[in-house]
């Protein structure tokens, strides 16, 4: 059956497809191609793809928009802003300084000295501080950060005296102001605060003043009695001395008598 079909169809062959070999071991020519026939060349020319040409010269508005628009806020700024807010909330003392031109060596030395007193020297950028402080009670300190600055935080105790003493030696650090226990103080107020005695001393003074009122009355009532006692004391002492002198004289006389 199959042989009958094959005899009827002349091109079919059981031997396989007709193969005509074009190349045999020679290298193919790719570098010097033959010019195409005119018709073929025409078709190729028409069917070449046209890509849209991007002009490299942008207009002024486009380049400015690229420049301005490309500044996306780094999310790390938010993390640092949170850290700043943390420091501000948990420090009893915050001092803000204007920083003149200073070498890293010197500022490191200052940082070490402050660290020994548990005072932490930090510096952040204005944008980050603005982000940290926007909408909070600390917004008033923002104008201090327009220029080169540094901040000193004291988390547990107020050591204003130590801080001022250390920073007085550094001419490049200029005190601008500070926050003491959530109260904003200007530079003069901060210096006065350093001169004031501590809280315990102030409390003792208050107690003393309160007691002075009552104490005054008591003192005035007892004044005459005290006076009398003093006078009697003096008198008694005088008598005592006289008696002692007399006793001494008698002793001397008796000794003289026994000698003779």
Partner 1 sequence: MSIPFSGTLRRSGGIVSAIGKQLRSVNLKGVKRITVQFDPFAENVKATREFLFLLSTPKVSQSNPKCIVKPDIVCDRSPAFIKFALIDSAQEQSKVKEIRFNSDNLNTLELLQLLNKHVSTLAPPEEIAKKVLTKAEKQKLGGGAGGKKPIKKK
Binding site for partner 1 (CB under 8 A): 98-101, 140, 143-144, 146-148, 172, 174-177, 186-189
> Shortest approach of partner 1 to residue 31 CB, angstroms?
47
Nearest distance from C-beta of residue 100 to partner 1, angstroms = 4
CB nearer to partner 1: give 162 or 173.
173
Nearer to partner 1 among residue 99 and residue 194 (C-beta): 99
| Closest distance to partner 1 from the beta carbon of 187 (Å) | 5
In whole angstroms, the minimum distance from the beta carbon of 169 to partner 1 comes to 15
Nearer to partner 1 by Cβ, of 15 and 146: the residue is 146
Q: Which is nearer to partner 1, 174 or 234 (CB)?
A: 174
Nearer to partner 1, 29 or 183 (CB): 183
Sign of CA dihedral 136, 141, 147, 149: negative
**What Å distances lie between residue 19 and 12, 16, 22, CA to CA?**
14, 9, 9
Residue (135 or 143) nearer to partner 1, CB: 143
Would you list the DSSP string of the chain? -HHHHHHHSSS--TT--------SSPPPP-SSPPPPPHHHHHHHHHH---PPPPPSS--HHHHHHHHHHT-PPPHHHHHHHHHHHHHHHH-SEEEEEEE-S--HHHHHHHHHHHHHTT-EEE---HHHHHHHHTTSGGGGGGGGGSSSEEEEEESSS--HHHHHHHHHT-TTEEEEEEEETTEEEEHHHHHHHHHS--HHHHHHHHHHHHHHHHHHHHHHHHHHHHHHHHHHHHHHHHHHHHHHHHHHHHHHHHHHHHH-
174 versus 206: smaller Cβ distance to partner 1: 174
Name the minimum Å distance from CB 147 to partner 1.
Answer: 4
Q: From the CB of 95, what's the least distance to partner 1, in Å?
A: 12
Smallest separation, CB 80 to partner 1 (Å): 23
């Amino acid at each position: 059956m199959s042989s009958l079909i094959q005899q009827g169809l002349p091109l079919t062959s059981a031997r396989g497809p007709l193969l005509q070999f074009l190349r045999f071991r020679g290298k193919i020519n790719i570098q010097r191609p033959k010019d195409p026939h005119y018709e073929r060349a025409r078709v190729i020319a028409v069917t070449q793809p046209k890509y849209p040409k991007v002009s490299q010269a942008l207009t002024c508005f486009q380049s400015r928009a690229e420049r301005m628009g490309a500044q996306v806020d780094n999310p790390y700024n938010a993390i640092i802003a949170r850290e700043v807010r943390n420091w501000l909330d948990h420090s009893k003392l915050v001092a803000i300084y204007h920083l003149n031109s200073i070498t890293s060596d010197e500022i490191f030395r200052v940082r070490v000295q402050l660290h020994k007193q548990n005072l932490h020297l930090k510096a952040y950028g204005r944008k980050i501080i603005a982000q940290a402080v926007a909408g909070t009670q600390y917004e008033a300190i923002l104008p201090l950060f327009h220029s080169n600055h540094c901040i000193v935080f004291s988390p547990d105790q107020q050591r204003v005296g130590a801080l001022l003493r250390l920073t007085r030696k550094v001419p490049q650090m200029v005190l601008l102001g500070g926050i003491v226990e959530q109260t904003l103080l200007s530079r003069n107020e901060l210096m006065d605060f350093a001169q004031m005695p501590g809280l315990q001393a102030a409390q003792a003074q208050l107690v003393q003043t309160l007691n002075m009122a009552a104490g005054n009355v008591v003192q005035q009532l007892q004044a005459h009695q005290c006076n009398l006692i003093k006078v009697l004391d003096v008198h008694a002492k005088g008598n005592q001395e006289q008696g002692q002198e007399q006793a001494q004289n008698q002793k001397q006389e008796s000794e003289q008598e026994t000698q003779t």
